[in-house]
Amino acid sequence: MRVIDHFISGRAGLPAARFGDVFDPNSGAVQARVELGDAAVLDGAVQAALKAQPGWAATNPQRRARVMFNFKALVEARIDELAHLLSSEHGKVIADSKGDIQRGLEVIEFCCGIPHVLKGEYTQGAGPGIDVYSMRQPIGIGAGITPFNFPGMIPLWMCGPAIATGNAFIIKPSERDPSLPNVLAELFLEAGLPAGICQVVHGDKEMVDAILDHPAIGAVSFVGSSEIAHYVYRRGVAAGKRVQAMGGAKNHGIVMPDADLDQVVHDLSGAAFGSAGERCMALPVVVPVGEKTAIALREKLIPAMAALRVGVSTDADAHYGPVVTAAHKARIESWIQTGVDEGAELVVDGRGFTLQGHEAGFFIGPTLFDHVTTEMEAYKEEIFGPVLQMVRAPDFETALRLPSEHQYGNGVAIFTRNGHAAREFAARVNVGMVGINVPIPVPVAYHSFGGWKRSAFGDTNQHGMEGVKFWTKVKTVTQRWPDGGANDLAGDGANSFVIPTMG
């Protein structure tokens, strides 16, 4: 059986004492075993990073950008192969896996312009004969703890800006689908990145804690559930690290009475059920404004859901594939039952779905609840599956309050033809990312990604200039060059003991 090893300093890691199973979600069978590392494995990666990072930091930004260009070309040349590898462990359909990788490459494209964004600031003549300038320098060693749902995109979102700004980087991918990050690290080497700058260590909580505790790791980026994000943030900050920790979500889609319902249903089908709902930017809650809107939307949703094709990852006609593990399937089905027990109307039940020839696969059909209320636990918590909940709102103000008062504040969308309503909603809603007639408002790579409330812990977002700031520290230099001889270096003794001013 295939064994997935660590990737340390450009080579395989040490023999492991513990292993985890990696499943094929389409069949339910174990297809590989991944080594689960410990603090000793991590320290091996850190020592390699400490050796390699100073030289990489001293490499000029233009040469670092060339590595990014080379890496992008290598990934694009193998994207079909990489997408199949991703799908084989995650379960998402091939087209979705290609999108996963492509959205990561868009951040790499941004990193190809790293010489520009690292230029810093300069003020000539800030005082008599005094100039002031700032520079951005790397943190040193960074680490990324990445989730199962985007095994290509999220590692690239993290490692691209970190490496381009001169850091060494250690990826700890999800043990559920760990193979792709190893291949990405190999491609970085092929692109010209020195060994020890991009490494992969595999593991579970033991490895996560080792990363958070290691004194040589200066910054950690995390994406996962809110409970673990909060844990990572608190423990990492307590250890003196810079931490950005992205958590869960319960994104709402507000449907105004003037919205194009055919377009809304089309958008909801992809946003709620695409990738089996295993996205932090999925749209699992729809909020029709007014009973007339709710009735009309429901009438259109039911046949649209019936037309969705659930299939194996390699089925080019499938809209989505299986969920990642049997345990996650059971968790989703448990939330569906919770919704029923709490009194929501189960309009379409996706439990019990099977695919001929793949009866042991981790499949769930699309599910729809109506008459969901804010008091229900199934509404409050993230289900992370192909489950759409309808919460009816009598008016705009009620619809605005729903996402604003929810514990999560990752993303939200409003569907309307009314520019004033859209502008008012975008300005007032208490959520970090807003879509206007855009169901999944993931920002482009040169803007930044990040939610509010329990969807994000830390002060800096992912990628864009926020990512550059997170992986660098600012040094500010105030300089004066005397005109005369050595005596001028002493300065004015009368003023040597007071704070200098620029007046």
| Residue 206 lies inside a defined structural domain of this protein | yes
- What is the pLDDT, as a whole number, of residue 485? 56
- What is the pLDDT, as a whole number, of residue 13? 52
Radius of gyration of the chain (CA): 25
- What is the pLDDT, as a whole number, of residue 260? 97
- Report the alpha-carbon distance of residue 416 to residue 435 in Å, rounded: 11
- Give residue for tokens 């309009």: 347
| Residue 34 lies inside a defined structural domain of this protein | yes
DSSP characters for 50-119?
A: HHHHHHHHHS-HHHHHHHHHHHHHHHHHTHHHHHHHHHHHH---HHHHHHHHHHHHHHHHHHTTHHHHT-
- Same domain as 171, residue 81: yes
Compute the mean pLDDT over every residue in the chain, rounded to the nearest whole number.
Answer: 94
Given 436, 465, 497, the domain boundary residue is: 436
Local structure of 268: helix, strand or coil: helix
- Same domain as 226, residue 290: no
Query: Residue 159 catalytic?
Result: no
Query: Exposed (0-12), middle (13-18) or buried (19+): which is 479, by Cβ within 10 Å?
Result: exposed
- Same domain as 262, residue 232: no
- Same domain as 208, residue 290: no
- Same domain as 430, residue 460: no
| Residue 503 lies inside a defined structural domain of this protein | no
| Domain at 418, CATH number | 3.40.309.10
- Is the pLDDT assigned to residue 139 strictly greater than 90? yes
Which of 424, 431, 434, 427 minimizes the C-alpha distance to 395? 424
| Residue 488 lies inside a defined structural domain of this protein | no
- Same domain as 138, residue 115: yes
- Same domain as 459, residue 397: no
- Same domain as 144, residue 287: no
| Residue 100 lies inside a defined structural domain of this protein | yes
pLDDT digits 0-9 by tens, 304-313: 999 999 999 9
pLDDT digits 0-9 by tens, 459-501: 899 999 999 999 999 999 999 988 765 555 555 555 566 666 6
| Domain at 220, CATH number | 3.40.605.10
- What is the pLDDT, as a whole number, of residue 9? 82
- What is the pLDDT, as a whole number, of residue 483? 77
Residue 310: both structure tokens together: 């659930």
Q: Which residues contact 75 (CB under 8 A, 6 or more apart)?
A: 82, 101, 105, 108, 184, 187
| Residue 485 lies inside a defined structural domain of this protein | no
- Same domain as 286, residue 239: no
- Report the alpha-carbon distance of residue 250 to residue 49 in Å, rounded: 38
Single pTM value for the model: 0.93
- The per-residue b/e assignment along 107-137, b for 16 or more CB within 10 angstroms, e otherwise, is bbebbbebeebbeeeeeeeeeeeeebeeebe
- Same domain as 292, residue 178: no
Distances (CA, A) of 117 to 57, 105, 468: 15, 18, 8
Catalytic residue among 111, 112, 198, 280: 280
Going by the DSSP 8-state scheme, the letter that residue 293 receives in this structure is: H
- Same domain as 263, residue 235: no
Q: How many CB atoms lie within 10 A of CB 15?
A: 7
| Residue 484 lies inside a defined structural domain of this protein | no
- Same domain as 173, residue 66: yes
How many percent of the chain have pLDDT more than 70? 95
- What is the pLDDT, as a whole number, of residue 236? 98
Residue 194: both structure tokens together: 């020195």
Residue 219: both structure tokens together: 């910054």
pLDDT digits 0-9 by tens, 366-394: 999 999 999 999 999 999 999 999 999 99
Calculate helix-pair angle for 153-164, 179-191, nearest 10 degrees: 30
| 325: confidence class by pLDDT, cuts 50, 70, 90 | very high
Domain with 46 in it: 2-247+455-476
How many separate domains does the chain show? 2
pLDDT digits 0-9 by tens, 215-243: 999 999 999 999 999 999 999 999 999 99
| Residue 482 lies inside a defined structural domain of this protein | no
